[in-house]
Amino acid sequence: MNKLTRLILKSYLGPFLLTFAIAMIFLIMQFLWKYVDDLMGKGLEWYVIAELLFYASANLVPMALPLAILLSSIMLFGNLGESSELTAMKSSGLSLLRIMRPLTIFIFLLSFAAFLFANYLWPVANMKFRSLIFDIQQQKPSLSLNEKSFYNDIPGYSIRIMEKNKKGDEFKDVLIFDHSEGNVVYKRDIWAEGGSIEQINGGKAMIFHLTNGKIYQEVQPRMVKGGVYPYQKIYFKRANLNFDLSAFQLQRTNVDVYNTHYEMLNMEQLATQEDSLKVEMRRKKEELARNIERRYLLFRKAGSAQDPEIVATGSIIPVLKPNSVDTNLLAATPSKPILQSFEARSREDKKRIVDGALNMARGNVDYLIGRRDEFNGRDEFIQRHRLEWHRKLTLSVACIILFFIGAPLGAIIRKGGLGAPIVASTLLFILYYIISITGEKMAKSGVIDPFWGMWISSIILFPVGFFLTYKSNRDSTLFDLDFYLRILGLKRLKKPKFAANENSSTLQ
């Protein structure tokens, strides 16, 4: 490795890691803002939140990595151009492509690693993230008793307190309505002057210690209005009430429940499952065709074009080939013309037959509409598998294309730091993101093929990268303001220079 290669790689890795970390931080903050309602008030342990953020960060890499490559490329070559290092390299006979060669090899290796990540690690992280966030969303908020309000999150109980101490574990004027199913009495209301709570078994259970209170309870349910049933009123100085708090603990579900979802599969698994879905859909369509053939089609025997029905209507119903249908259906065809048999019936029979036929037709239409919607849903599900299959590849290609946009763009604008590079990279990445999201949504809705939906951003941006690389390699004046001013016959406005003694002369 020569000195130029070490210089380029060393100058690139710093901005790349910095921009990648900044992008990840901003995306994680966006994630927290999105799920803040699901996380707050649940009493989650720090390691649970850390695990959730770890899996979420793995899902954010496909957004942060292309942005970091684009921004760091613009920063590096902008700094080299601004400090005239790029000019010195070119004056020594090195082209831009030769200067970019070490980074090109690095970006290709990084893109291959991104493909391995998207194909193998991303599905696993996505599966664990979906499982954990679902468990957190299903968990009830932590126990929190507020003054002068009823707390109803404990199943079967409604608790109201009037006052509590600063620690929140001692209360005054406690009222509890007990409607739990395990209660031996039908209904029980408890009032106490004071009380305190104590959690046991690692927070899975709670004891409510009550002092100086009363218990009002009905022993049996009221079966008949106006009947007389037992009623009890109990006074106590001390009483303990046990509560089950297992619903407030995080219950971890088995992640294998999600392992067949298309977002949790690699490319090989997606291809296998897509083939299985296509075979199943083909079988369903063949089954529907046979069902329609058996139940809804009327077949006319061959050679019956002179039947009185055809002569009367003046039209011939299309006849299927005898070998293409069931011969039993042909044998069961009535020998007497249908219209002649219908005309011979009474008016009431005709009305009954017509109403029955209309109801049958409406039922058949509803049935076919339902099957059509089923096939549309199955086809959309297959398209989602194709989308995910292409998604595994688009990340790697996007990294390469954005590098070949950022590197020549930085060499052209020749501005380093975090000013112009951030503006340029942000605008380009927003364009890339909008095109990608638009194509993906169009593919999901069935407007375009999944291939075009996932690759449309790369197809559009590839010519941009090729054009910028070509222009920069030939030292084009694409973004040289003086060049365009000379074409228009204008002069660039410059800040006027004043003599150093002009201001001091007024003091004499």
Digit-coded pLDDT (tens) for 101-139:
889 999 999 999 999 999 998 888 888 888 888 777 766
Tokens of 95: 């082209």
pLDDT at 109: 94
Per-residue confidence band for 231, with pLDDT thresholds at 50, 70 and 90: confident
pLDDT at 127: 85
pLDDT at 152: 78
Q: What share of the chain is helix, strand, coil (3-state, %, to 5)?
A: 60, 10, 25
Q: What percent of the chain has pLDDT over 70?
A: 74
- Tens of pLDDT, residues 162-214: 888 877 778 888 888 887 765 545 577 888 888 888 777 766 777 888 888 88
- Tens of pLDDT, residues 349-370: 778 878 888 888 888 888 888 8
pLDDT at 201: 73
- Between the alpha carbon of residue 362 and those of residues 194, 293, 366, 368, 507, the distances in Å are 68, 18, 6, 10, 102
DSSP 504: G
Give the dihedral of Cα atoms 410, 29, 127, 114; nearest 10 deg.
10
Of 71-80, 245-254, 256-265, 398-407, where does mean pLDDT reach its minimum? Answer: 245-254
Tokens of 41: 């008030």
Match 């004499």 to its residue by tokens. Answer: 508
Tell how far CA 5 is from the center of its chain. Answer: 41
CB atoms within 10 A of CB 107: 23
Show Cβ contacts of residue 219 under 8 Å, excluding neighbours closer than 6 positions: 185, 186, 229, 230, 231, 232
Check: CB of residue 255 under 8 Å from CB of residue 129: no
pLDDT at 418: 62
CA 232, CA 314: separation in Å to the nearest integer?
89
Quick one: which H or E segment has residue 195?
strand 187-200
Who has greater pLDDT, 183 or 343? Answer: 343
Q: What percent of the chain has pLDDT over 90?
A: 11
DSSP 104: H
Check: CB of residue 443 under 8 Å from CB of residue 379: no
Tell how far CA 130 is from the center of its chain. Answer: 10
State the amino acid at position 362 in one-letter form: R
Compute the C-alpha angle 256/257/258, nearest 5°.
90
State the amino acid at position 393 in one-letter form: L
State the amino acid at position 240 in one-letter form: N
Q: Which of 13, 82, 22 is nearest to 422 (CA)?
A: 22
The pLDDT mean for the chain works out to 77
Show Cβ contacts of residue 415 under 8 Å, excluding neighbours closer than 6 positions: 78, 81, 82, 421
Per-residue confidence band for 505, with pLDDT thresholds at 50, 70 and 90: very low
Per-residue confidence band for 313, with pLDDT thresholds at 50, 70 and 90: very low
Per-residue confidence band for 288, with pLDDT thresholds at 50, 70 and 90: confident
Quick one: which H or E segment has residue 280?
helix 267-295
* Long-range CB contacts (within 8 A, 24+) of 296-300: 296/364, 297/325, 298/333, 299/325, 299/329, 299/330, 299/333, 300/333
Q: What is the 3-state secondary structure (H, E, C) of 245-263?
A: CHHHCCCCCCHHHHCCCHH
DSSP 301: P
Is 50 exceeded by the pLDDT of residue 475?
A: yes
Tokens of 212: 């100086």
Most confident of 93-107, 313-327, 343-357, 490-504: 93-107
Is 80 exceeded by the pLDDT of residue 325?
A: no
DSSP 239: E
Across the range 55-80, mean pLDDT stands at 88
CA 18, CA 23: separation in Å to the nearest integer?
9
Per-residue confidence band for 329, with pLDDT thresholds at 50, 70 and 90: very low
Is 90 exceeded by the pLDDT of residue 324?
A: no
CA 41, CA 296: separation in Å to the nearest integer?
59
Tell how far CA 465 is from the center of its chain. Answer: 29
Check: CB of residue 96 under 8 Å from CB of residue 63: no
- Tens of pLDDT, residues 205-218: 778 888 888 888 77
Per-residue confidence band for 506, with pLDDT thresholds at 50, 70 and 90: very low
Most confident of 21-35, 210-224, 327-341: 21-35
Check: CB of residue 49 under 8 Å from CB of residue 43: no
Is 80 exceeded by the pLDDT of residue 306?
A: no
Quick one: which H or E segment has residue 157?
strand 157-164
Who has greater pLDDT, 387 or 337? Answer: 387
